[in-house]
Amino acid sequence: MALTQMQIIQSLGEAMNWLEREVNWGVDVAELRHLMGRIGELYVAMITNGQMAPNTNEKGYDVVTKSGERISVKTTTVSNGAGSIAFNGNTLQFVDRVVILQFNTSEMEIETLLDCSVVDAYTMMTDADAKGKRTI
């Protein structure tokens, strides 16, 4: 069953509250990767008026827009520009668009670092490694 836009917004708010609480308790954001990923996916579903992918661990993508565009969402907390984002090169064929978000924990804000077609994202990626991973 697809979530309504109101449910996506409510879930995003609850996840943000959970994250803020954990950070205030001194939990290192690096230990909250699963939560950061979920926040990013919900955020992209909200801003695109889309839906979460129909299946858990859908091949390559996380969000589907109303028009059927499949989006791979990656969320990072690295802010010094030194980080990299890994993609499974074996499933990028199922993706139409790539969105990379940065979560600023000091301001509790989400910033879009990249929002482009997968074709454009390919030009920024490294060649696939032995495991098929490509990075930006």
Q: What's the confidence (pLDDT) of residue 81? A: 65
> What values do phi and psi take at 85, rounded to 5?
-120, 130
- The mean predicted confidence, pLDDT, of the chain is 91
Q: What's the confidence (pLDDT) of residue 78? A: 78
Convert the pLDDT of each residue in 37-85 to its tens digit.
999 999 999 999 999 988 777 788 999 998 999 999 999 987 766 678 9
* 1: pLDDT strictly greater than 70: no
Q: What's the confidence (pLDDT) of residue 2? A: 80
pLDDT > 90 fraction of the chain, expressed in percent and rounded: 71
Give the residue with greater pLDDT, 105 vs 32: 32
Report the b/e string of 38-68 with b at 16+ CB within 10 A. bbbbbbbbeebebbbbeeeebebbbbbbeee
Enter the DSSP assignment of 57: T
Query: What pTM value is reported for the model?
Result: 0.91
